[in-house]
Structure 1
């Protein structure tokens, strides 16, 4: 299992950010980012939230709370989930029903 620091480094590199770039955006020092990535230091809750936002992921992904964490690493999936959550509950139910139907049909095609 990847540690917080490893995930942070991977996501930072995927965004083509240097440690200096990320430190500036987080309003901290390069040494702090370096210590995070080496798992020598853990961020505060506020810093973890800001890192997740800057890197288009979730705190849950960074902290390894999710079994299928890659799903929460994908900014397109996150955007879609956020969009769905912004809709009224009845619309959410309709969208999720449609998605469930498509998932079921796709699984049946694999058989």
Structure 2
């Protein structure tokens, strides 16, 4: 999906009008329409504001990934990265155990 089509789909999914999105990012609705029709590309600053307003990553908007990353999870990952190595090691060990538990439950239909 193109950059513009992704913006349009995410905007509609969130229930925003072009005008509402434009106000959130500091532009006008005509410009949002031109982005959505792939007539023009926003600056990196505006693209970042659009991603933030829509609650998705910039990678998702640009098509670099097709996985819609949850910003609340990204914030937690960033927080974990800033911890001392020993704390990171413990958190990731616990997380690996929890993920394995979920995969096991899914595999056995429980």
**Structure 1 residue 90 displacement after superposition:** 2.6
Query: Does 2:91 correspond to 1:92?
Result: no
- Secondary structure class of the residue paired with 2:90: helix
Shift of 1:6: 1.7
User: Matches of residues 1-111 of structure 1 in structure 2 within 5 Å?
Assistant: 2-67=1-66, 69-70=67-68, 72=69, 74-109=70-105, 110=107
RMSD: 2.0
Structure 2 Cα separation of the partners of residues 77 and 42 of structure 1:
28
1:85–1:56: structure 2 CA closer, same or farther, 3 Å change rule?
farther
Aligned length: 107
Preserved CA contact (<8 Å) 1:57 1:78: no
Structure 1 residues 50-59 or 87-96, which shifts more? 87-96
2:49 aligns to what SS in structure 1?
Answer: helix
Greater CA radius of gyration, 1 or 2?
2
Output the CA distance in 2 between the equivalents of 1:91 and 1:63.
34
Cα drift, residue 8 of structure 1:
0.9
Superposition deviation, residue 102 in structure 1? 2.2
TM-score by length of 2: 0.79
Q: Distance in 2 between matches of 1:16 and 1:4?
A: 18
Contact kept? 2:57, 2:71, Cα under 8 Å: no
